[in-house]
Amino acid sequence: MTKSALQNQFLNTKSLEIKYLKIGEVAKKSNLPIKTIRYYEEIGLLKPSVKRSPSNSYRLFDESVFNRLAFIKRSQSLGLSLQEIKEILIVRDTGKIPCGIAKQLLTQKLETINQQIEDLGILKSELQQILIGWKPVSSIEKQDPTICPNIQSHIQSS
């Protein structure tokens, strides 16, 4: 084998090596606190991209951790809980594409939001009615158990 062939072979094997990063490097590059990354690891969100160094037990992460962290951040911004995100990642870690479960979870999230919007509309109407009917109260008898008649009168009539 020629010298240049050996150099090329060395360069090719060098580029195939996986670079592992300590948790501080991952935190810095991802703009996440070390504590958050540790927590994600503890609950199993970072499983395939983390290992322990044999000599000093440092957490070592491969480059795939950044893709997982970005996915976690994006999923949280869509309202998914860490448990829901974990469900998606478990499917992905088996080698399957988790878009089906992701769609199901997002559909449920949308239904929840629609229900919350409806509930907030009802609450808004109730608050408006209380404020429209607000009456000044100058005093309450000491023995009267009422705290605020404007609020409590709506409790009794509801």
Spatial contact of 140 and 149, defined as CB atoms under 8 Å apart:
yes
Q: What is the pLDDT of residue 140?
A: 72
Q: Which residue has the higher pLDDT, 97 or 4?
A: 97
The angle subtended at Cα 106 by Cα 99 and Cα 120, nearest 5°, is 175
Whether the pLDDT of residue 145 is over 80: the answer is: yes
Say what the pTM is: 0.73
Contacts of 106 (CB under 8 A, 6+ apart): 78, 80
pLDDT (average), residues 132-139:
86
CA dist 101 to 11, 24, 87, 110, 117, Å? 41, 32, 8, 14, 24
Q: What is the pLDDT of residue 136?
A: 87
Whether the pLDDT of residue 38 is over 70: the answer is: yes
Between CA 112 and CA 50 the distance in angstroms is 34
Place of tokens 């240049």: 4
50 backbone dihedrals φ, ψ, rounded to 5°:
-135, 145
Spatial contact of 101 and 88, defined as CB atoms under 8 Å apart:
yes
Q: What is the pLDDT of residue 4?
A: 55
Give pLDDT tens digits for 42-74. 999 998 777 777 777 788 899 999 999 999 999
Give the tokens for residue 61: 């992460």
Contacts of 134 (CB under 8 A, 6+ apart): 150
Taken in order of first residue, the domains within the chain and their CATH numbers are 10-134 (1.10.1660.10)
